[in-house]
Structure 1
């Protein structure tokens, strides 16, 4: 269609719409009859092409008309109207107002009768509408989608289970508004289907952790509905599990006064059962005891709570406005300054939940103790180069293939655990990645508290903080936490802080923003405080300025007794009992680098070993070296199935290095019977590995493959590898260093 024809058509439709808006019911009925008569035989696609840019305007008028009369409802449905509306709802390029208008029209269709509800369900409408509810950015669209689902529930019973399962899947969405509507709809459908599926329990309990009270309230109402169904034992067990951290943290570790009060109120017998058998408590108490636990209130006097030993409020956030401002400032900075990293791109663009979770899992494991710049190339080979883009692909690989891909990245047990985890997901979880932080922590080997929280927030949208090394530094400086950062009290305080600060709307972005801040701005040395987006919230930064102000006033001779306006950390240290305050005095030269405080590191243990490179003569097998493969051990080691060159144990080397006839003894130990190819010491390589420093003494020797066959056969597998392809073999880092140094 030419531009001139399109303009003419648009003008015609606009004229039609103006007359429509001015007309009454009779005029509009006549206009619609005329329109249908003029377009008899034309397809929907022809009309859509003709309407072009004003299609949504025409749709709005049609929606209004259908709210007034069902005169043309069947004609609309027969022309594929429902499918068209569902396409609009599902289309990512459509505007929110267009989706809302299409949903309103679908609601009109659904409310017209049971047979119309069936048409929507048979057109896969439940899935489309449910996804729109979860992903929409506006309350209007979400509420209209919810209304359509509510209407469909009252249709044919055979579709109610389909709606029920779709709603359970939506419980993992990140929008609090959507979560509230989903829970409300589940409350309705639960009364219709008269049964409860076990898959509802875990996401429902997870919603009790929401920071939004309306979501918590809806979750509690649904839990009360489910207590009459078969899932009751699972619910009770999960609720007890939610209580346990509170019991352990608050009753035992932090607030002994509260522990004493609870014991007085509920009695020694019930209290002992709660403290020592929390997992099975619900199976051993009667209704009266349960009522006591349910209705108990902790009426503790202010004097008692004041005397209780707990961290100072100076080290946390208590103003909701401050928290909201910090979130906004940090996320605005992150949106502008974040680095483009392949795993971040996948986390945003990948719609498949299992692939997204797997991709984030791989990145988090690779990033453990390894710099981002190093990880990028390995990650691209692993995921983007289509080596193992899914968990099923990794599960099908061999451990040797994984080690070969991992070679040079260090800490080889990480690759092994990734491989084990992938095989477990495929064999025990039917290829479905865990869906919550708790299940990630329990079901994936090598996944700890931080890794589970990072995967859960970034890939699954779970509202949880994630505390890694960067976060420890940032949080300690923000709240002037100066105690040993590895102590249990500081660790729990930091996790509590992270959970307070995390943005409920963008938990994954917030956690990554905190990590980015620690990696690029709030660095261990030479932090860029002037560029920090949350500078105004930082106690350490204030501390520096307090000291500077005091020093300036001293120099100017104007120091008076008037207190400074900025709060100082000494305010927290008056009692000397705060477990989060530093035990050492402030060092003016360090500034904000006074935090965090770490225990002194022990110097690495030095061991000396020798690597002998057996090199083939040029005329026999040009430029090749002999490698042997470490065997699989009964107790799996970090470097099993790696390919080192021949090595001598540290004990032997420590004795040989002191000997005047070192080379001769090395030659005899290595079973080299060819003196015409003398052994030569080429130099030392220093390599820090874990907490042990290995000093490799590199030796060179020339021997042909034919001559090697005459030596005793070893148990290990051996192979000749051309030095140009040494990086492709699964070799240990120290051997790579030897060749990199040209020794």
Structure 2
């Protein structure tokens, strides 16, 4: 570039900065759109050439205007997109440093918390934080030190758009990877999302937890109750994630607590049981449906894990799982066949599996309910509750099947 050409470019750039400095909101909005449309994918040298080696002067103006206006929502999305061009530019590490020096991380995290901002702005803020986190471990630590995990998790929980939720999930997983100082903080932040009412958020939190489990390598005991409570969900995609995560956690110290919790959710305490277990049949099951879904899901979990591991099946027997399954079957005699078909199917299939797998189970069940009822039970397990009478139902509900130590005795 000759001296005269360089002077022309500098003059153009100074005129550009004057237009920005004196421009109204509408003019600045147009400048931002022009920059975004013409500069995406440019490298740091290309940006410097575009701005006559003064790209940092424009970046400084962008970050300053963002800090002044982000709370009122003035062109926030476009400002973040423009800053993103600098952050993602190849060989542009110095732009990252310049943004951090003016409190860029705190500004981006604050944007995630503002209810008045549209979600596209939050998506852009999450993208910029992801770029920063990808720059290395010390930048992940900076985000976490700025209460980033909490802000990002809250953004995930409160967002209505799936794209925003997915971007937050990606960022949380990224913050835990290669960041040993804060990986447990991310893990706990995801656990805090499990009671969320949004099934999509629950699904994403479970997916992230399963991904991070091999990284964290420990399990916080507080995970058991919120995890098992999600079994009430009617959303099968969430239920699938719960079951898959439970299978992973059975290899950790919470195994006993998980198995006990799953069995306990087959037969909730009396005060938590739906009225249909105690009163005359009714067509209104709206209040009791979540509990039935939870029982069916618990039975499904039991069935899956006992089929995958004989050792776990034996542990389940020590927890009186057969006793609880029979109680559920007995209570179904009073339930609506249409509403409880899934629960009946789950319970009958898995109890039959235990009976056929362990002769000692067959022996105890036969003794508990009598020969004739046992034959009916094994002949029609899938619709037994439609065929049995109230006396037979009471036999199931009041059964005393208890097999602790029987497996070992049978083996001797």
Q: Does TM-score exceed 0.5, indicating one fold?
A: yes
Distance in 1, Cα, partners of 2:331 & 2:363: 16
1:53 counterpart (74, 81, 96): 74
Higher helix share: 2
Runs of 5+ unmatched residues, structure 2: 1-20, 269-294, 296-324, 335-343, 369-376, 395-412
2:218 paired with 1:140: no
Distance in 1, Cα, partners of 2:366 & 2:184: 40
1:79 counterpart (102, 109, 127): 102
Deviation at 1:151, TM superposition (A): 0.6
1:308 counterpart (356, 379, 387): 387
Conservation of the 8 A alpha-carbon contact between 1:110 and 1:116: yes
Partner of 1:437: none
1:157 is paired with a residue of what secondary structure?
coil
1:208 is paired with a residue of what secondary structure?
helix
Q: Deviations over 1:180-206 (max 9, x none)?
A: 111111112221122111100011111
TM-score normalized by the length of structure 1: 0.35
Deviation at 1:305, TM superposition (A): 5.5
Partner of 2:54: 34
Partner of 1:14: 30
1:317-332 aligned within 5 A: none
1:250-265 aligned within 5 A: 250-254=328-332, 262=352, 265=356
Deviation at 1:106, TM superposition (A): 0.7
Deviation at 1:248, TM superposition (A): 5.4
Deviation at 1:97, TM superposition (A): 0.9
Greater C-alpha Rg: 1
Conservation of the 8 A alpha-carbon contact between 1:167 and 1:182: yes
Distance in 1, Cα, partners of 2:50 & 2:69: 18
TM-score normalized by the length of structure 2: 0.60
Conservation of the 8 A alpha-carbon contact between 2:133 and 2:139: yes
1:276–1:88 CA distance, 2 compared to 1 (3 A)? farther
Deviation at 1:122, TM superposition (A): 0.9
Conservation of the 8 A alpha-carbon contact between 1:17 and 1:58: no
Conservation of the 8 A alpha-carbon contact between 1:9 and 1:50: no
Conservation of the 8 A alpha-carbon contact between 1:20 and 1:31: no
Distance in 2, Cα, partners of 1:156 & 1:253: 50
Q: Deviations over 1:610-660 (max 9, x none)?
A: xxxxxxxxxxxxxxxxxxxxxxxxxxxxxxxxxxxxxxxxxxxxxxxxxxx
Partner of 1:201: 224
Q: Deviations over 1:568-609 (max 9, x none)?
A: xxxxxxxxxxxxxxxxxxxxxxxxxxxxxxxxxxxxxxxxxx
Distance in 2, Cα, partners of 1:85 & 1:275: 66
Partner of 1:181: 204
Deviation at 1:22, TM superposition (A): 3.1
What is the aligned residue count? 288
When structure 1 is superposed on structure 2, of 194-203 and 256-265 the one drifting more is: 256-265
Distance in 1, Cα, partners of 2:191 & 2:381: 44
Q: Deviations over 1:387-436 (max 9, x none)?
A: xxxxxxxxxxxxxxxxxxxxxxxxxxxxxxxxxxxxxxxxxxxxxxxxxx
Partner of 2:361: 270
1:37–1:276 CA distance, 2 compared to 1 (3 A)? farther
Deviation at 1:125, TM superposition (A): 0.2
Aligned residues: CA RMSD: 3.9
Conservation of the 8 A alpha-carbon contact between 2:203 and 2:237: yes
Distance in 2, Cα, partners of 1:200 & 1:55: 37
2:206 paired with 1:128: no
Partner of 2:277: none
1:344-359 aligned within 5 A: none
Partner of 1:163: 186
Conservation of the 8 A alpha-carbon contact between 1:10 and 1:54: no
Conservation of the 8 A alpha-carbon contact between 2:32 and 2:82: no
Higher strand share: 1
